[in-house]
Amino acid sequence: MADPSTSPSLTRPSVLEARELIKGFVHHTPTLTNATLDSLASTPLGNRDGDEKVEGRKSASPKIRLYFKCENLQRIGAFKIRGAFHALERLKREPGWEEGGGRERGVVTHSSGNHAQALALAARTNSIPAHIVMPSISAKPKIAATKGYGANVVFSGSTSVEREAVVMKVIEKTGARLVPPYDHPDIVLGQGTLGLELQEDARDIIAAAAGADSKNHEAIPAERGFRAPITTPNLPEKKRTSPGLDAILAPCGGGGMLSGVALSCEGTGIRVFGCEPWFEGADDAKRGYESGQRVEAVSTLTVADGLRTPVGKVPWGIIYERRLVAGFYSVSEEEIIAALRLIYERFKMVVEPSAAVPLAVALFNEDFRSLVEREGGEDGWDVGIVLSGGNVSLEALGTLFAPKEG
């Protein structure tokens, strides 16, 4: 990994520079809308089919319009490719790396799957050997894909401590350079590029919807890229004069993507919120944010397998110390699966459980929904949702959606 002291400053302009550096290697993924999910998000809990009644409190009644950033359609099926390519492009520019045999020694990382695939592909593209340490419980499609990209896969235990111990053995044996999955400025800046695209694309959609509304809701084609049909009529007047997102909900594991998205929103007025499962303490970032102390170890088997890692030091500095993330919300396993089912059945999109966590927050977390109702009022909020990845096996989906006995 390039020396962090040589990395660009952790600012929005640096995210813009990172986008220029990797634009030939990654897809500009689509931002899509869905009228059905907007309607569900804007309906109080207990009033939707399948909802349980909320006892003892009045359910929030927010107005929410959702804009889905489809990183499940990214290369390797997840946003991680952005950070991996940015990290390698920065490493290649490190003085003396090529001359000192860095290319031949290769790179190493640890990952449950998406960063593993991303680094494997980025390394293959650059003809650099890649050694990937993966937990033995990683999803089989992610292991197969990582090997398919030509990486040497080494298995480890599931905790971050176990992974890192195996990485150190690989480094001692090969001299490979570590490219961490999230805890490095170059990774953070690369991941943040998706936030730039989401902001720009949502702004275009909102502006086009406002124009369509003023012309009897006739659809106006977007100027560039693939867009969903406009499904948000009757936007309030303030949205017509100043279109753009009010907030972004992003999943948080190690925090590299969340902190990168937060950097991409710096100075824009867009609030960024982290989203986590709470099962078996998987909401470490939320707990750390609220206590003021970063949680350094997590052991959980949440269905959102990409979010089983603790927040890294570099992301923590952006998320908490600089307060570029406005807060955190967590959801249950049942809520994650319910959101995942809706994405499959009503959106027709293939995503992994981790990617469904932000939608679960928008649909089920009463604290977030109350915030939107309180601060958005009649106008409501335009909310970006990061669909972080789509790498999931059919067998895993069968297990998740199998009818419960009894």
Which residue numbers are catalytic? Answer: 80, 112
Are 114 and 78 in contact by the 8 Å Cβ rule? The answer is: yes
Q: Cα(273)–Cα(262) distance, rounded to whole angstroms?
A: 9
Count Cβ atoms within 10 A of the Cβ of residue 54 and give its class: 0-12 exposed, 13-18 middle, 19 or more buried: middle
**Residues constituting the chain:** 406
Helix H or strand E segment including 334: helix 333-346
Are 336 and 362 in contact by the 8 Å Cβ rule? The answer is: no
Q: Angle between the 12-22 and 193-214 helix axes, to the nearest 10 degrees?
A: 100
DSSP-assigned letter for residue 273 = E
Q: Cα(81)–Cα(280) distance, rounded to whole angstroms?
A: 29
Contacts of 216 (CB under 8 A, 6+ apart): none
Helix H or strand E segment including 394: helix 394-400
Q: Nearest 5 degrees, angle CA 343-CA 354-CA 283?
A: 130
Residue 216 CA, distance from chain mean position? 36
Q: Cα(322)–Cα(75) distance, rounded to whole angstroms?
A: 31
